[in-house]
């Protein structure tokens, strides 16, 4: 798809809102703000379209895409529908259907090739009135409550200053402002490594549901898991996640390591027996990150630019879009003269949902959540509550597994371990 956007910089060096990064959170915030008449400048260091992982969306995303006016732009991509998640471990198979959930809202979404998806979103933001500059990076930042400024480096190495009235950092793994302001801090999550590629999957098994991401657990290493994300037209994304030492203990390169581990999981080995890779195997490690706070004088951090947890439940794009749709209205109100408390109106509400996802990530790696997911004795009501969180509705305080995630997960996992079906039906 042609970008429809150039690197031209008009003569003025000021804007209402500067947004660092043209990924989903940057595009969503840019579209929302531009539609309300604000001058928005998006600064992106790469040239779109560009490859990215994080390809399995959650239904909560659909609410945010509609709110910022980008749903139809995304729908035009004719992406693979997704209605849930399937799980496999040692020959056991189960699934969670997002349409059978506790929380209101959409129960379906898409599985997307991010190069196309992200391009469609940023083009939609441009059509809404946002200006977009590619091949431009941020070298320096001066925080200021009224006029924060960025030092930009263009494609030919030229440096320019851009003053704004507010800055949103949507730079993803680049975490531009977290680095430049000293807000970055190590994540409390264990450091892990992901190996991944795209394939022509050639799957012929009639039991394979292309409308669900398939998540597998290694039969012998509980800390290692897999994803298989089907796309349209017989393509898919496949990856393995684990600690670096275990992944590197086998194979002479990452391609050999990835396929060694895929062949070790019976269901994936069967499904991908005839798969052909369509791109080199990639590696991403040390991706979990956190910050001291998500805002400062004249700026706020969106999505992965602030905190990133883990890819296991595909929460990245959901958190990114949620943060964008929380921040953008606050920016508009602040620029209109209203005093905004970014701690109570942005950071605290956003982090509550992130904390819910974190509890589920912790429960996945320590074994509680797999015990729950593979247990067949839960009531439909409990299953629907878990489905809601995994569908992205991690801010729904009416859901007991949001309001008291750790306690509920602990109680349910204990009941599942004891195979006490009568307890399982009562813990919620």
Q: What is the 3-state secondary structure (H, E, C) of 351-378?
A: HHHHHHHHHHHHHHHCCHHHHHHCCCCC
Report the distance separating Cα 127 and Cα 210, nearest Å: 32
In this prediction, residue 19 carries a pLDDT of 98
Range of the domain at 246: 193-285
Q: Let me know whether 260 and 393 are in one domain.
A: no
Note whether residue 428 is domain-resident.
no
Would you tell me how many other CB atoms lie within 10 Å of the CB of residue 64? 24
In this prediction, residue 9 carries a pLDDT of 41
What CATH code is carried by the domain that includes residue 256? Answer: 3.30.9.100
Note whether residue 161 is domain-resident.
yes
Q: Let me know whether 202 and 179 are in one domain.
A: no
Last residue of a domain, one of 267, 285, 303: 285
In this prediction, residue 31 carries a pLDDT of 98
Note whether residue 154 is domain-resident.
yes
Q: Let me know whether 368 and 264 are in one domain.
A: no
**Which helix (H) or strand (E) segment is 166 a member of?**
strand 159-169
Q: Let me know whether 326 and 402 are in one domain.
A: no
Last residue of a domain, one of 262, 285, 308: 285
Q: Let me know whether 220 and 267 are in one domain.
A: yes
In this prediction, residue 425 carries a pLDDT of 39
Compute the radius of gyration of the chain from its Cα atoms: 22
Three state DSSP letters for 39-61: CEEEECCCCCCCCCCCCECCCHH
What CATH code is carried by the domain that includes residue 175? Answer: 3.50.50.60
Average pLDDT along the chain, 428 residues, taken 10 residues at a time = 40 86 97 98 96 94 98 98 96 95 97 98 98 97 96 93 97 91 82 94 95 96 94 96 93 96 96 97 83 94 83 89 98 98 97 94 93 89 96 97 95 77 38
Q: Let me know whether 243 and 169 are in one domain.
A: no
When divided into structural domains, the chain yields a total of 3
Q: Let me know whether 62 and 143 are in one domain.
A: yes
Residue carrying the six token digits 């509400």? 349
In this prediction, residue 148 carries a pLDDT of 97
Last residue of a domain, one of 285, 314, 349: 285
Note whether residue 177 is domain-resident.
yes
Report the distance separating Cα 181 and Cα 321, nearest Å: 23
Q: In whole angstroms, how far apart are CA 248 and each of 137, 146, 245, 378? A: 33, 49, 5, 38
Note whether residue 104 is domain-resident.
no
Q: Let me know whether 177 and 207 are in one domain.
A: no
Q: Let me know whether 123 and 182 are in one domain.
A: yes
State if pTM tops 0.75: yes
Contact (CB, 8 A) for 141 and 167: yes
Q: Let me know whether 119 and 264 are in one domain.
A: no
Could you tell me which of 302, 50, 60 has the C-alpha nearest to residue 172? 302
Q: Let me know whether 198 and 73 are in one domain.
A: no
What the block records as the tokens of 96 is 């969670």
3-state secondary structure of 201: coil
In this prediction, residue 349 carries a pLDDT of 96
Q: Let me know whether 55 and 130 are in one domain.
A: yes
The verdict on whether omega for the bond into residue 322 sits within 30 degrees of 0, i.e. cis, is no
Strand partners, 84: 97, 212
Note whether residue 86 is domain-resident.
no
Note whether residue 119 is domain-resident.
yes
Note whether residue 350 is domain-resident.
no
């Amino acid at each position: 798809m042609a970008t429809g956007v150039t690197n031209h910089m008009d003569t003025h060096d000021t804007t209402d809102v500067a947004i660092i990064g043209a990924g989903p959170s940057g595009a969503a915030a840019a579209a929302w703000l531009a539609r309300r008449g604000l001058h928005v400048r998006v600064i992106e260091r790469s040239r779109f379209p560009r490859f990215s992982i994080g390809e399995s969306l959650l239904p909560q995303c659909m609410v945010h895409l509609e709110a910022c006016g980008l749903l139809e732009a995304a729908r035009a991509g004719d992406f693979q529908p997704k209605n849930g998640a399937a799980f496999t471990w040692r020959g056991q198979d189960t699934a969670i259907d997002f349409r059978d959930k506790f929380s209101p809202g959409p129960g379906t979404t898409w599985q997307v090739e991010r190069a196309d998806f992200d391009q469609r979103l940023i083009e939609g933001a441009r059509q809404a009135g946002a200006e977009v500059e590619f091949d431009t990076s941020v070298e320096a930042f001066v925080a200021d409550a009224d006029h924060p400024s960025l030092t930009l480096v263009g494609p030919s190495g030229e440096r320019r200053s851009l003053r704004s009235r507010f800055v949103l950092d949507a730079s993803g793994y680049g975490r531009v402002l977290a680095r430049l302001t000293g807000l970055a801090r190590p994540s409390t999550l264990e450091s892990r490594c992901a190996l991944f590629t795209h394939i022509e999957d050639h799957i012929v098994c009639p039991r394979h549901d292309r409308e669900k991401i398939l998540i597998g657990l290694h039969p012998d290493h509980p800390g290692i898991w897999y994803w298989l994300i089907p796309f349209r037209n017989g393509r898919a994304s496949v990856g393995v996640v684990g600690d670096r030492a275990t992944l590197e203990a086998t194979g002479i390169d990452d391609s050999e390591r990835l396929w060694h581990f895929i062949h070790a999981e019976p269901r994936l080995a069967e499904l991908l027996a005839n798969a052909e890779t369509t791109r080199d195997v990639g590696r991403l490690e040390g991706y979990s990150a956190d910050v001291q706070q998500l805002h400062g004088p004249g700026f706020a951090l969106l999505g992965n630019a602030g905190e990133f947890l883990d890819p296991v439940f595909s929460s990245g794009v959901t958190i990114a879009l949620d943060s964008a749709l929380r921040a953008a209205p606050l920016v508009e109100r602040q620029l209109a003269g209203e005093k905004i408390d970014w701690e109570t109106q942005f950071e605290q509400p956003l982090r509550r949902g992130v904390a819910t996802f974190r509890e589920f990530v912790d429960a996945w790696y320590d074994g509680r959540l797999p015990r729950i997911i593979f247990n067949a004795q839960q009531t439909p009501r409990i299953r629907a509550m878990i489905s809601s969180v995994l569908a992205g509705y991690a801010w729904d305080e009416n859901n007991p597994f949001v309001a008291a995630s750790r306690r509920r997960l602990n109680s349910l996992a204990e009941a599942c371990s004891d195979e006490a079906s009568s307890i399982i039906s009562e813990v919620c």
